[in-house]
Copies of this chain bind each other. A is one copy, B any other.
Amino acid sequence: MPPTTGDPLPSWNEGPAKEAIFAYIARITDVGSPDFLPLPERIAVFDNDGTLWPEHPLPFQAAFAIDELSSRIPREPDLAADPMVQAALAGDLAKLLEGPGYEGLLQILALTHAGMSVDAFRRTVEAWLVSARHPRFDRPYDSLTYLPMQELLRYLQANNFKNFIVSGGGVDFMRVWVERVYGIPPEQVVGSTARTTFELGAAGPVLTKTLDYLFVNDKGGKPVGIHQFIGRRPTLCCGNSDGDHEMLQYTTINNPRPSLGLLVHHTDPEREYAYAAKSTSTGKLVEALAAAPSHGWCVVDMKEDWNMIFARE
C-alpha cells in the first residue's frame, strides 16, 4: 500500500500540468463549493495508445496482428500468398489503408480478430503478451504503460473517479489485460467493436467474433461510443492525438460541470518518442494541439513534466 500522505504524483515534475491536476481535484472535491462534483458524476475517460502506453513504432495491437500472422504461416501456408498479409508483414501500412473501405486492413482484422470464439481470442492475446517484446525497449508490451499516468489513474480513483478507457483499439484486445495492468475492470473499457454471434454448443455457450456492424471508436466516434457505452458526459478527459479531439470537446465545451482536458504531448526522443505533426505511426497531433489554448486544455510535455516514463522492470 502506498502511504496515504505525500505526493500522489511523484513521477510528475512540479509545473503547470501537475498544478492543473491538483487544482481541478481541489476544486471539485470541496464539499462547500458550487463546483463540488457529486461522486456518481466523477467519470474520467482515457485514450489508450499514446496516452497510457506508446504507439510507436506501431500500435501494439498492430504488432500483435503481425506477430500472429507470422506465427501462423508455417501451419497455414496460404496465408503467405495473401498480398495483404505480405503488406502487413512488411509493415506497409499505406498498402493496408488503400481504398475507400480500408479493404487491406479489414482483411488483416478478419484473419486475426474474427472467426474465432472470444475465449480462443483471449488466450491468443494472453500468450502473445507473455512472449512478445517491444522492438526498442525489449520489454513485454504490457510493462510499458507510462508510470505518471498509472499514478494519475490511482489518484483519480482515490478521489472517487470511475476511470474508463476510451480507445480506438479493439475492445476484446484491451479487456484481456486492462484489469491486471491498470486496475480498470473490463466493463469500463470502450473501444472499437463488432458484433459476436451466440450459440449454445455441446460444451456450453459460445460467442464467435465477427466484423459485422464494425464500430470504429475514434474521432467523432469517441463521443458516440461514450454516450452508447457509458451514457453520460465525462468530466475529465485525457488524450494525445487528433483522434481524441472530439472526446476533449465533448468533455469540456459548455459542460455544466467543472471539467479538465489533458493532452499528452510526445516530446521526448531520448526516453520515448517525439512526434506530433510528423508521426510515423498513429498519433498525429495538429488540430487538438492548436485548439488547446482556447479551450484551456492542459498540454502535458512528456520531457518537461515527467521525471520517469516507465516503471523500472
Contact = CB atoms under 8 A, between A and B. Distances in A.
Contacts of A197: 220, 224
B224 A198 contact: yes
Interface string A213-230: 101000011011001111
A114 interface: no
Contacts of A227: 118, 196, 207
Nearest to A221: B198
A186 B228 contact: no
B231 A171 contact: yes
Contact of A220 (B198, B221, B223): B198
Interface stretch (A67-75, A86-94, A246-254, A299-307): A246-254
Contact of A204 (B43, B196, B200, B254): B254
A256 B196 CA distance: 21
Interface stretch (A96-104, A187-195, A265-273): A187-195
Contacts of A56: none
A179 interface: yes
Contacts of A175: 231-232
A205 interface: yes
Nearest to A229: B229
Nearest to A228: B193
Nearest to A214: B213
Nearest to A41: B185
Contacts of A249: 200, 205
Contacts of A43: 187
B207 A224 contact: yes
Interface in A237-260: 246, 249-250, 253-255
B230 A186 contact: yes
B40 A200 contact: no
Interface in A69-87: none
B200 A232 contact: no
Given A198-B223, A200-B253, A207-B224, A231 B40 contact: no
A246 B253 CA distance: 42
9 contacts: A40-B185, A43-B187, A162-B187, A187-B187, A187-B188, A189-B231, A198-B246, A204-B255, A207-B223
